[in-house]
Amino acid sequence: MGLNKRVVITGVGVIASNGNSVDEFWNALQNGVSGIGRITHFDPSDYRCQIAGEVKNFDAAEYLDRKEAKSMDRFCHFAVKASDEAVEMAGLSADEQDPERIGVLIGSGIGGLQTLETEVANLINKGPKRVSPMLIPKMIGDMSSGLVSIRHGFKGPNYTAVSACASGTHAIGEAYWTIVRGDADVMVTGGAEAAITPVGIAGFASMRAMSTSNNSPTTASRPFDADRNGFVMAEGSGILILESLESAQARGANIIAEFIGYGATADASHITAPASDGNGAARAIEMAIKHAGISKDEVTYINAHGTSTPLNDKFETLAIKKVFGDRAYKIPVSSTKSMTGHSLGTAGAWETIVCALAAKNNVVPPTINYTTPDPECDLDYVPNEAREVDMNVALNINLGFGGHNATGLVKKFK
């Protein structure tokens, strides 16, 4: 089912453990640079998992005044900074474009967890009168979209997507449809997350979902490798400017790539584990391909969810084989979580940006730390070194607790 209205990417912004700008991030990925280290936000000595992909050398006071910064949770700091970069790259302005035709849709799986932890401690230790009046507006997951809208004066559709680790891709996909159906010309979209907190780390670690390779942080995230033992939490934001081709061309915007298709399905299987037959993810891939109106043979790169957990990597590999058959073995598949860590609601945003930059530059980032092949994960995972590829269409896959599956397709712009 081809769609007549074309949607392009005209700006991107990144805050990540291995780069506080798009250029830093992309250079790190091409060179296999990990941003994972020992947790510094709090003392992790008593925790099973003591490592994470923390954002480094980041000070919100550099771009927000003190009062503004104090009124936002850390995940919103990230969203605002990444949106500033994306908006500047796209050349957007509420003074020069119709602000009612520019919307914001930023996903977050968890929202303001640090704020919630702090205020619960205040409630317990100091009583209800000492709970901050800013608790609710700092904590709620939609506030990143609201604050970006306020900062830039964008008055179009404005909301958030919350679907765990699929939130970023769902946000981008729904922003895409908002443009296609004519409700906006431009959407600021992506994800933001800041869940490297005592409760966040303790909760995931108690599920035995996180890596315990505490003595080797940079090699702990090892998607598809036989010795993988869990994911590594990360934080940050990824923001994209999606825009109708007509709007982008009318204002002479720089076009990075084209967003051509989106798929969303449910496993209806288990609250945390992916469906063991890979069917939900496979159907989401098929849906995106159908919406894009392309052949499966046009897909030349897959950025996998690739969390470095035993079940995800096995079942995701199965889903890719279900869709592409024997050709699955010929498509480069990489997980950039091997370098960034897993940023939950931001993951799909970072990885859609990776797909766009890969399509533009004909370079596929590697899966680092891949040393021991797993017989059940037997695709081409672009081990350890970036690769030049004659790019056409890149597929992004993200899966979230609750059985949420989301996929996006990005194409080299022609």
| Given the residues 49, 165, 355, 377, the one annotated as active site | 165
Domain boundary among 236, 257, 278: 257
Mean pLDDT, rounded, for 373-389: 98
Same domain, 246 and 366: no
Write out the H or E segment, with its range, that includes residue 348: helix 347-361
Same domain, 252 and 268: no
Same domain, 146 and 269: no
Number of domains in the chain: 2
Same domain, 210 and 265: no
Mean pLDDT, rounded, for 110-137: 97
Residue 116: partners with Cβ closer than 8 Å, 6 or more residues away = 135, 139
Same domain, 96 and 237: yes
Domain boundary among 210, 237, 257: 257
Distance CA 155, CA 103 (A): 6
Q: Check: CB of residue 357 under 8 Å from CB of residue 410.
A: no
Distances (CA, A) of 343 to 125, 136, 193, 204: 31, 23, 6, 13
Domain hosting 252: range is 7-257
Same domain, 191 and 314: no
The per-residue pLDDT for range 282-318, each reduced to its tens digit, is 999 999 999 999 999 999 999 999 999 999 999 999 9
Give Cα 139 distance to the centre of its chain.
20
Return the amino acid letter for 396: N
| Given the residues 342, 355, 377, 404, the one annotated as active site | 342
Same domain, 237 and 272: no
Q: Check: CB of residue 240 under 8 Å from CB of residue 104.
A: no
Domain boundary among 224, 257, 290: 257
Q: What are the start-end ranges of the H helices in 31-184?
A: 66-70, 74-90, 113-126, 135-139, 143-152, 167-180
At residue 1, the pLDDT reads: 38
Same domain, 72 and 180: yes
* Ramachandran assignment for 378, one of left (phi > 0), alpha (psi -120 to 50 degrees), beta (any other): alpha
Give Cα 337 distance to the centre of its chain.
10
41 is catalytic: no
The per-residue pLDDT for range 174-217, each reduced to its tens digit, is 999 999 999 999 999 999 999 999 999 999 999 999 999 999 99
Return the amino acid letter for 69: A
Residue 145 has pLDDT above 90, yes or no: yes
Give Cα 214 distance to the centre of its chain.
24
What's the number of CA atoms in the CB half-sphere (13 Å) around residue 215? 0
Residue 1 belongs to a domain = no
Residue 387 belongs to a domain = yes
What's the number of CA atoms in the CB half-sphere (13 Å) around residue 136? 1
Residue 171 has pLDDT above 60, yes or no: yes
CATH of the domain at 46: 3.40.47.10
Residue 218 has pLDDT above 70, yes or no: yes
Residue 2 belongs to a domain = no
Residue 51 belongs to a domain = yes
Distance CA 39, CA 398 (A): 25
> Does pTM surpass 0.85?
yes
Distance CA 110, CA 125 (A): 24
Residue 106 belongs to a domain = yes
* Closest to 210 measured CA to CA, from 47, 363, 2, 339: 47
At residue 3, the pLDDT reads: 54
Decide the pairing of beta strands 404-411 and 257-266: antiparallel
* Closest to 42 measured CA to CA, from 110, 109, 108, 117: 117
| Given the residues 170, 291, 305, 404, the one annotated as active site | 305
Same domain, 214 and 290: no
At residue 2, the pLDDT reads: 43
Same domain, 219 and 304: no
Query: pLDDT exceeding 70 applies to what percent of the chain?
Result: 99
Tell me which residue has tokens 């480094």.
Answer: 56
Same domain, 189 and 84: yes
Mean pLDDT, rounded, for 367-373: 98
Query: Facing residues of 374 across strands?
Result: 377
Residue 101 belongs to a domain = yes
Could you tell me the pLDDT band of residue 408, with boundaries at 50, 70 and 90? very high
Which of helix, strand or coil describes residue 257? strand
Same domain, 88 and 191: yes
Q: Check: CB of residue 276 under 8 Å from CB of residue 48.
A: no
Residue 308 belongs to a domain = yes
Decide the pairing of beta strands 158-159 and 102-107: parallel
**How does the average pLDDT of the chain come out, rounded?**
96
Could you tell me the pLDDT band of residue 4, with boundaries at 50, 70 and 90? confident
Residue 147 belongs to a domain = yes
Mean pLDDT, rounded, for 77-101: 97
Which of helix, strand or coil describes residue 222? coil
Return the amino acid letter for 228: R
